[in-house]
A and B are shown apart, each in its own frame.
Chain A
Amino acid sequence: MSPILVGVKRVIDFSVRVRVKPDGSGVMTDGVKMSINPFDEIALEEALRLKERNLAGEVIAIGIGPGEAQQQLRTALAMGADRAVLVQVDSPVEPLTAAQVFLKLVQKHQPQLVILGKQAIDDDNGQTGQMLAALWDRPQATFASKVEIDGERAQVTREVDAGLETISIDLPAVVTTDLRLNEPRYIKLPDIMKAKKKPLDVIKLSDLGVTPPAQSIRTLKFEPPAARSRGVMVKDAAELVAALKQRGVL
């Protein structure tokens, strides 16, 4: 059975209050907790469930990032991924380059499904899955809250602004996960031990024949957002209505 590729991006944990460095060159990362992008945990969980129901072969976790991203890939292996590939890069790659990396790995592994997160919670780009689908010339089902595989096809329910939309796609295809797709499993201690023996290959962009574009979108500076200030406290509903009236809202 063909494998499933899953994106596993190392990001600052969602619970961290991210702060901009005083010189505007980036955000503070020293001693900050790093985790798997939450949407990628959901992607991995979905892949594992499909495998457990005999609807897919191997689950391969793929990370593009610094050497430390091996930690997140080990966590993915402990969750149940069969093997992992880290494409090690010195500086972060943009979504188009990430999509090119995934395309090369797609050509190598011939998966029936690539499951990525709908967005990485650091750059908040939300592009990689759609870009991969374009480069691969295959269907995309973004913001998935339900995936049903039926032979050569899948039926995917998507969380859209107006509610839910269901589409039918031919496989292979790209799916990106939304929050309601599943609840990722917890890792048990023996799984961590087992994960140490699973293969984790570290390769370079050049091993895949991918070169980041000479011309790409550049980040010039980081700034803290405009702050909202604390307002007034009121005692009861009547005071609240009066305060709203005073602000001209009612």
Chain B
Amino acid sequence: MSSVLIVAEHFQGKLNPSSAKCVTCAKSIAGAEIDIVVLAVDAAAVAKEAAALAGVRRVLTLERPENAEALAAVWAPQIAELARNYSHVFGPSTTFGKDLLPRVAALLGVGQISDVMAVESAQRFRRPVYAANAVITVEAPAGNIVVATVRTASYQPAAGGGTASIERAQVNATLPTHTRFVSRSAANADRPDLQTATRVVSGGRALASAENFKLLYGLADALGAAVGASRAAVDAGYAANDLQVGQTGKIIAPELYVALGISGAIQHLTGIKDARTIVAVNKDSEAPIFEVADIGLVGDLFQIVPELERLIRARGG
């Protein structure tokens, strides 16, 4: 019998949708019992949200002042303690989960499976490697706890309507004081979240300046879309780092992805493979982005984008 412990990702009293996606992934293990653990100073609001996810058996809370920030060195020993009662420990392959779960795995003395995109059995999983140029099937040894991060772009969030119990958990773990939170800054807090948006408008090096990059925001607003960027646009300072889409940035799966002045390097394409519809605007008809675009338009984005925005606003979005 499989039992899965999911580590909740949350911020300011709100559960991140990545946790609900982990639940969906865990549900694809036949007969699995699914618990969610919430580490926080005060876990009440998040635990309530987690308990409402359909398919969850129990929500465990670990409340202590040290859990105010998600510091991997502080959280991992507590999760590892709790994990000993489970066959699986899952977290999202967001920066939160990528930072934390390998530390948990090492404390448990086991390897980790990164970016699970499909579950074949309780022990067997599929995951992308080489910037998703290959998909491998891996098997964890029977008897070991399976620690894995879930590729959030591969799963829909679990539905609501669940009625899991909420229980206070106790663990015996000494917590280090060698790591301290200092500050956080969010450049795009007032815009739709790139990881969960159903529409994304992304810009590349072609935008040529931070000033020009703002052109995208008009179109994004007309579409109700989040904004993304290629690595080249981020490196050049046109866009903030958290907007980078790709192998080493965010892997997303929106309904609509609009790539403006992005050539379509492998590393970028890795991030958008699961988008329903890809639109590309590029002045080079040979650009590799057109090999994956559902709708392609060869031309100068500086002419096309304002025109597009006007047409879409005229339609009302």
Contact = CB atoms under 8 A, between A and B. Distances in A.
A233 interface: yes
A125 B112 contact: yes
A210 to B, nearest CB: 14
B248 A220 contact: no
Contact of B311 (A137, A238, A247): A238
Interface in A13-39: 14, 17-20, 27, 39
Interface residues of B, number: 92
Contacts of B133: 17-20, 27, 224-225
B312 interface: yes
Interface stretch (A58-66, A76-84, A160-168): A160-168
B241 interface: yes
A202 interface: no
B250 to A, nearest CB: 7
A27 B11 contact: no
Contacts of B235: 179-180
Contacts of B184: 160, 162-166
DSSP class of B's interface residues: helix, strand, loop or mixed? mixed
A68 interface: no
B134 A223 contact: yes
Nearest to A173: B178
Given A159-B241, A231-B294, A241 B144 contact: no
Contacts of B297: 233-237, 239-240
Contacts, number: 264
B102 A130 contact: yes
A217 interface: yes
A230 to B, nearest CB: 6
Interface of A: 12, 14, 17-20, 27, 39, 94-96, 99, 118-119, 121-135, 137-140, 142-143, 145, 155, 158-170, 173, 178-180, 213, 215-226, 228, 230-241, 243-244, 247, 249-250
25 contacts: A19-B133, A124-B130, A134-B103, A140-B99, A142-B99, A160-B242, A161-B95, A162-B11, A162-B242, A180-B234, A217-B140, A218-B138, A219-B137, A220-B139, A221-B137, A223-B135, A228-B273, A228-B291, A228-B292, A233-B295, A237-B308, A240-B297, A241-B312, A241-B315, A249-B256
Given A18-B131, A232-B295, 14 more contacts: A14-B266, A122-B129, A124-B115, A130-B102, A134-B102, A160-B184, A161-B95, A162-B186, A163-B187, A180-B235, A220-B139, A230-B293, A231-B278, A239-B297
